[in-house]
Amino acid sequence: MDQRGLGFPPCRIDRGEEMHVAIGTQGEMAKLGPTGEPLDTFTRPFPAPILDGVTLADRWVGFWVEREFGEARMAALPLQGDWIDGPGRDDLRLSSLADSDIQPAGAIWHRILDAEPMAIGSVEGNIVFSTLGGGIYMIDSEAKEIWRTQHPVWPEILDIGVQDLLVSIVECPEGIAVWSQAGGVAVLDPSDGSLLSFWVLELGDKVSNAIYAEGGGWLLMLHGGTIGLLEDIGKRPEVLETGGPVLDAQYEGEEWRWTGWRHDGRLSEGRVFTTYREGIGIAILEGRVMTNDGEWSDYSA
């Protein structure tokens, strides 16, 4: 594996099948090969943090949100060809004052969002995303709308209101699973977005992310030093201590492996094993861990 660092502090890697995209804390982006090697120098196509994104077969699609200027953009960038730097923050500030439009550099398409985005996922090559106070939408890779639906309502946590953000949209055997911070999960029909089922799970902490793997079920990353495990949606979750927040996980060799806040961990035969990590692991890939300084190191658990 290429040992070169990214050259910027990353916050996550949006994994794809043949190519991955590393995302920086200030909107930096870099394409990575199958085993995580940087394919070119990093760029900053738009002067705002990237809230969420997905890597499809031939493009990356995601959100940029700049709360200071009240700007939210959604765009698709091609995976082939070179990415280029886009406008600067001064351009964005002037754009918001003059009501003119600037866009992520090199975008295949882009949209100005009138509501703050929350989460995004991919379903059979299409894109499903949610906006705060808006709804849930499915679009194709060219941004053509397929359907839209309202946010799920969970009566047990209804009093939380807008503070209960959607954090994950994941394709699974039952349909499209939509997860909320407060432990609400709803399954939508991929054909039209209709609600198939919904539950509220007792987890004891906020959900920050949800990952599904065939054979491994669900792993829920919780804000504190715990994870939630489910064989199937709707079943009672098992909550396990990890020693620190988990930031990324993969199911490999019939066991869950993860990295996170100063530790690597794995779940083997129902037991959690962890090892100390000097830095903070933000992504795990092919037996290696990307840390928040933009460098690769060996997975240690």
81: amino acid identity, one letter: G
Residue 96's pLDDT is what?
Answer: 63
Last residue in a domain, options 192, 226, 260: 226
User: Do both 183 and 270 map to the same domain?
Assistant: no
- Residue 254: give the domain boundaries: 242-301
For residues 84 and 110, membership in a common domain is answered with: yes
The answer to whether position 1 is within a domain reads no
Q: How far apart are CA 164 and CA 145, in angstroms?
A: 25
Domain membership of residue 117 (yes or no) is yes
Give pLDDT, residue 273.
Answer: 95
Domain identity same for 69 and 187:
yes
Tell me the average pLDDT across 66-70.
84
Q: Are residues 279 and 136 in the same domain?
A: no
From the number of C-beta atoms within 10 Å of its C-beta (0-12, 13-18, 19+), residue 140 rates as: exposed
Q: Are residues 139 and 279 in the same domain?
A: no
> What digits encode the pLDDT tens for the residues 108-127?
999 999 899 999 999 999 99
115 and 172 part of one domain: yes
pTM for the predicted model, two decimal places? 0.92
274 and 139: one domain?
no
Separation in Å, CA 97 to CA 58, 73, 92, 94, 241: 35, 16, 9, 5, 48
Q: Verify that 117 and 198 share a domain, yes or no.
A: yes
Q: CB–CB of 113/72 below 8 Å?
A: yes
CATH of the domain at 102: 2.130.10.10
pLDDT class for 2, splitting at 50, 70, 90? very low
For residues 92 and 193, state if they share a domain: yes
233 located within any domain: no
pLDDT of residue 90 exceeding 90, the answer is no
Provide the number of structural domains found in the chain.
2
Give 96-121 as a 3 state SS string: HHHCCCCCCCCCCEEEECCCCEEEEE
Dist. CA 285–CA 289, nearest whole Å: 6
Tokens 């990575």 correspond to what residue?
A: 32
| pLDDT class of 52 with cuts at 50, 70, 90 | very high
Which of 226, 261, 277 lies at the terminal end of a domain, its last residue?
226
pLDDT tens-digit profile of 221-236? 999 889 999 999 888 9
- Do residues 209 and 279 share a domain? no
Residue 18: exposed, middle, or buried by beta-carbon count in 10 A (0-12, 13-18, 19+)?
exposed
Residue 193 and residue 142 in one domain: yes
Report pLDDT for 4: 61
